[in-house]
Amino acid sequence: MTTESANRSFTVDSVLLNAVLEHVDQGILMVDANGYVAVCNQRAMDLLGLPSELMHSNPSFEAVKRWQMEQGEFGTVTDKLLRAIKYEGINVEILDYERQRPDGTVLEIRTNRLPNGGMVRTFTDITIRKAAETAIRVSEERLRLALKASRMAAWELDLETKWVDRSENSMTLLGLSSGPSADFMARVPADDHERIATFGQAVMADGSGATEVRYLLPTGVQTWLALRAERKDEKRLIGLTFDIADRKAAEGAIWQTANHDPLTGLANRALFQVCLNEALERAEASGSGVGLLLLDLDDFKDVNDTLGHAVGDLLLQETALRLRTFVGEDDTVARLGGDEFAIVLAGIESGREAVSRAAEIVEALRAPFQHETRALSTTVSIGLASFPEHHRDPVELMKDADIALYRAKEQGRCQAVVYTSAARETMEQRVTIAHDVRIGIAAQQFVPFYQPKVSLTGGGIVGFEALARWKHDVKGILTPAYFGSVFSEQAISLALGEQMIRQVAGDIRSWLDLGLECGRIAVNLSTAEIADPKLARRILHILEDAHVPTAHFEVEVTETAFLGRRTAAASSVLNELHEAGVSIALDDFGTGFASLLHLKQFPVDHIKIDQSFVRNVITNGSDTAIVTAIVSLGHAMGMRTTAEGVETIEQAARLRDTGCDSAQGYLYEKPLEGARVPAIMRDWDKAQAGILSRQRNSVPPGSSEVPPKRRSALRPH
């Protein structure tokens, strides 16, 4: 099926549903899981005398019942039924009952619960039918006349001979005249025979009963019949048969709407949960397995953002069509929402079968599909869990697959990853840390520690980098190595970042008030923070409130901030900060995925050379060449350069030889609390640093023989 034909199919389905609802002989009322009336056709309003202004206002089910009670609608019902009507809400206890309206109309009211917690209620005018039932007891002639005016047939069954006397219109309704009961049973599907047997037993035991069965008409069309009967004596039953095909069609259409995604036609989340539960029950009973695949389209948001939601919808529909080709009759494919899909593979032999199917899906969704004159494509990440290899409980199995999906995205996307208990432990630890971090933020436990950046030529402090530290009330001082995994959660990242920036701004102001020249203080921004379009404005307001000039502030971002859908947001935020005078530093340069083009596209003032290149700069010629190239590139583009992770005098000397402007690392100072910074700045021995710098000038380029110096030659203890 093409995407266009799929769209036409969904449109036709919607039109047919509306037509069915407005033309069936039954009143249809659907209440959603929140207790509000979602569907009410005109027939229901007519049968119940409900005003259109009430029903068109999206009323609650309780509001409708209150209105009915005010009109005296339930004056003739029993006390038990009245109590049920008053207090049932949508947790219906009495599913089927009959009642007479004040105008004399007798209604049959039937209730079907929906998987999502709502319900569908049908109202049938059975006034004529009730009169017909009375006529059975009073007069055969009156019964015959009543039957002629309705779509039902009367019958009498002799339990000994199995002979059925049928009314004249049985031929019209059933294609049968009087004859053996076997004639009727031959047209009832075998699956419904037990239902009829139970119906007969109930009539004999209780005096009356009712049931619904499928029936094959002589035309070859299958319809639905309702049977109602009473025990006339020990040998005979009398009853009515009537056609309920219209009502069943309406109920089926409503069920389809309530349990399927309108865009793709796939099962929705509610039906998916039912199918998963049933598949697990069958597997447990039969000894087979169940595979659960959670799928997420990679970078689907980019399609919506660049090409529009209409094209995004087409991509979702095409994805649904392709996924259908991978499921069997007993399997389920569902759209859970957005770009998230799920597949239940029922009756598999082992988890390996699910792994194989998942790999096929990954490959199948790589292929682009044609939209007008262009090819559209996306990839998919899949998290996979299976029973009995993993959890039996459906909720836990969903968690297993969700954890595996998270790992698939974390490991680069466009792949299927199988759940492991180790992954769950990691995820649970991450959730625990995230919870504790939120508490720590609320308790103001996160503080900046400052590490100085030192000029490689003059030896003086040219600025500091503010590094987040968690003063945990039990574990002590914690670094981002412990809590950094939560930075991907934007809410946490924004809250923590704002708390850090406010403290840094306050520290800068206090140092300036002491007459100390602290240079620029750099704060790291996570990729989650940089995605917030209001970030720049918020930072500038914090600096303004603290009376801190932007010339004393710098933000550090990593190369990942420039990738994919983050590019536009990062560009906007960084340009706004740069125009206000905030310096922009590119952190960990050379280790990410950004291209040199980003140095041209984004307002970068400062390049920070990653410590992985600094660590072996003395012994590894390639690292020396890379550092030299980065420094040359930065200077050619008017950018400052700082080397990170400097730990030895030899490293500092070699970096100075490359032309690198400044350095930071344990050679100079470890990160320290803000309260210690003023003393460090006052006591910093620039003279000693200058002497060391001149001594380094005497070292031939490329030589590692630097005059041995104690750490005290670089800074005071």
How many CB atoms within 10 Å of residue 398? 20
Inter-residue contact 123 to 48 (CB < 8 Å): yes
The CATH number covering residue 149 comes to 3.30.450.20
Give the mean model confidence (pLDDT) for residues 334-342.
90
Tell me: pLDDT of 389 over 50.
Answer: yes
Q: d(Cα 100, Cα 56) in Å, to the nearest integer?
A: 25
pLDDT in tens, 419-448: 888 878 888 888 888 888 899 999 999 999
Inter-residue contact 453 to 685 (CB < 8 Å): no
Tell me: pLDDT of 700 over 60.
Answer: no
Give the mean model confidence (pLDDT) for residues 485-498.
86
| Residue 255 located in a structural domain | no
| Phi, psi (deg, nearest 5) at residue 92 | -70, 130
Tokens matching residue 191: 């699956």
| Residue 427 located in a structural domain | no
pLDDT at residue 292, rounded to an integer: 92
Last residue of a domain, which of 376, 401, 419?
419
- CB contact set of 129 (below 8 Å; sequence gap of 6+): 108, 150, 152, 240, 242
Q: d(Cα 619, Cα 596) in Å, to the nearest integer?
A: 27
CA angle, 370 as apex, 367 and 376 as ends, to 5°?
60
pLDDT at residue 686, rounded to an integer: 52
Q: d(Cα 469, Cα 60) in Å, to the nearest integer?
A: 52
pLDDT in tens, 50-88: 999 999 888 999 999 999 989 888 888 888 888 887 777
Inter-residue contact 50 to 303 (CB < 8 Å): no
| Residue 517 located in a structural domain | yes
Inter-residue contact 384 to 374 (CB < 8 Å): no
* Cα dihedral 646, 648, 651, 657 in deg (nearest 10): 100
Q: How far out from the chain centre does Cα 162 lie?
A: 59
Last residue of a domain, which of 125, 154, 187?
125
Closest CA to 290 of 243, 237, 342: 342
Greater model confidence, 106 or 77: 106
Q: Which of 421-430, 583-592, 618-627 has the highest mean pLDDT?
A: 618-627
Inter-residue contact 166 to 154 (CB < 8 Å): yes
pLDDT in tens, 114-129: 888 888 999 999 998 8
% of the chain exceeding 90 in pLDDT? 45
Q: d(Cα 304, Cα 299) in Å, to the nearest integer?
A: 9
Tell me: pLDDT of 707 over 60.
Answer: no
Tokens matching residue 393: 């409980």
The CATH number covering residue 371 comes to 3.30.70.270
Closest CA to 69 of 57, 53, 81: 81
pTM for the predicted model, two decimal places? 0.55
pLDDT band at 624 (very low <50, low <70, confident <90, very high): very high
pLDDT at residue 570, rounded to an integer: 83
Q: What's the burial of 79, exposed, middle or buried (CB within 10 Å: 0-12/13-18/19+)?
A: exposed
Tell me: pLDDT of 408 over 90.
Answer: no
Inter-residue contact 231 to 203 (CB < 8 Å): yes
Crossing angle for the helix pair 269-286 and 245-259, nearest 10 degrees? 90
Alpha carbon separation from 94 to 39, 118, 121 (Å, rounded)? 21, 15, 12
Crossing angle for the helix pair 535-545 and 490-513, nearest 10 degrees? 30
| Residue 426 located in a structural domain | no
Tell me: pLDDT of 451 over 90.
Answer: yes
Inter-residue contact 323 to 343 (CB < 8 Å): yes
Q: d(Cα 597, Cα 177) in Å, to the nearest integer?
A: 87
Give the mean model confidence (pLDDT) for residues 585-598.
71
pLDDT at residue 348, rounded to an integer: 87
pLDDT band at 416 (very low <50, low <70, confident <90, very high): confident
Domain count, the chain: 4
Tell me: pLDDT of 715 over 50.
Answer: no
Inter-residue contact 140 to 147 (CB < 8 Å): no
pLDDT at residue 457, rounded to an integer: 92
pLDDT at residue 550, rounded to an integer: 96
Tokens matching residue 667: 């050679």
Inter-residue contact 171 to 177 (CB < 8 Å): yes
Residues paired with 379 in a beta bridge: 298
Greater model confidence, 77 or 17: 77
> Do 556 and 661 fall within a single domain?
yes
| Phi, psi (deg, nearest 5) at residue 465 | -105, 125
Last residue of a domain, which of 60, 92, 125?
125
pLDDT band at 487 (very low <50, low <70, confident <90, very high): confident
Tell me: pLDDT of 681 over 70.
Answer: yes
| Residue 438 located in a structural domain | no
Q: 3-state secondary structure string, 452-471? A: EEEECCCCCEEEEEEEEEEE
pLDDT at residue 36, rounded to an integer: 92
Average model confidence (pLDDT) across the chain: 85
Q: d(Cα 398, Cα 401) in Å, to the nearest integer?
A: 5
State which residues form the domain around 648: 446-711
Inter-residue contact 454 to 461 (CB < 8 Å): yes
Inter-residue contact 641 to 435 (CB < 8 Å): no
Least confident of 327-336, 592-601, 615-624, 656-665: 592-601
- CB contact set of 258 (below 8 Å; sequence gap of 6+): 30, 114, 115, 116, 118, 120, 270
402: Cα within 13 Å, side-chain hemisphere: 10
Q: d(Cα 269, Cα 659) in Å, to the nearest integer?
A: 60
Instruction: Classify strands 374-376 and 340-348 as parallel, antiparallel or unpaired.
Output: unpaired
> Do 11 and 116 fall within a single domain?
yes
pLDDT band at 158 (very low <50, low <70, confident <90, very high): very high
Q: d(Cα 242, Cα 153) in Å, to the nearest integer?
A: 6
Tell me: pLDDT of 98 over 80.
Answer: yes
pLDDT at residue 195, rounded to an integer: 92
> Do 245 and 264 fall within a single domain?
no
pLDDT band at 684 (very low <50, low <70, confident <90, very high): confident
pLDDT in tens, 205-261: 889 999 999 999 999 999 999 999 998 888 899 999 988 888 888 888 888 888 888
Inter-residue contact 523 to 556 (CB < 8 Å): yes
The CATH number covering residue 618 comes to 3.20.20.450
- CB contact set of 657 (below 8 Å; sequence gap of 6+): 699, 701, 702
> Do 503 and 593 fall within a single domain?
yes
| Residue 355 located in a structural domain | yes
Crossing angle for the helix pair 421-442 and 490-513, nearest 10 degrees? 40
pLDDT in tens, 537-576: 999 999 999 999 999 999 999 877 776 556 777 888 999 9
| Phi, psi (deg, nearest 5) at residue 639 | -110, 145
> Do 88 and 220 fall within a single domain?
no
| Residue 433 located in a structural domain | no
Four-residue CA torsion sign, 184, 247, 195, 108: negative
Tell me: pLDDT of 662 over 80.
Answer: yes
> Do 614 and 698 fall within a single domain?
yes
| Residue 435 located in a structural domain | no
Greater model confidence, 352 or 520: 520
> Do 392 and 478 fall within a single domain?
no
How many CB atoms within 10 Å of residue 49? 14
Give the mean model confidence (pLDDT) for residues 492-519.
94
Alpha carbon separation from 697 to 139, 371, 689, 690, 701 (Å, rounded)? 124, 65, 12, 11, 9
> Do 644 and 606 fall within a single domain?
yes
> Do 608 and 631 fall within a single domain?
yes
pLDDT at residue 713, rounded to an integer: 32
For 155-299, where are the alpha helices, taking DSSP H only? 170-174, 181-185, 193-206, 245-259, 269-286
pLDDT at residue 692, rounded to an integer: 53
| Phi, psi (deg, nearest 5) at residue 715 | -155, 155
> Do 101 and 135 fall within a single domain?
no
- Cis status of the peptide bond prior to 388, with omega within 30 of 0: yes
Tokens matching residue 326: 């991978």
pLDDT at residue 528, rounded to an integer: 84
pLDDT at residue 554, rounded to an integer: 97
Q: d(Cα 82, Cα 628) in Å, to the nearest integer?
A: 88
CA angle, 12 as apex, 8 and 15 as ends, to 5°?
140
> Do 350 and 390 fall within a single domain?
yes
The DSSP 8-state label assigned to residue 518 in this structure reads: -
% of the chain exceeding 70 in pLDDT? 88
Q: Report which residue type is found at 131.
A: A
Closest CA to 659 of 520, 462, 457, 452: 457
Greater model confidence, 10 or 504: 504
Tell me: pLDDT of 593 over 70.
Answer: no
Q: d(Cα 316, Cα 308) in Å, to the nearest integer?
A: 13
The CATH number covering residue 61 comes to 3.30.450
Q: d(Cα 190, Cα 564) in Å, to the nearest integer?
A: 59
> Do 134 and 211 fall within a single domain?
yes
pLDDT at residue 42, rounded to an integer: 93
Residues in the chain, total = 717
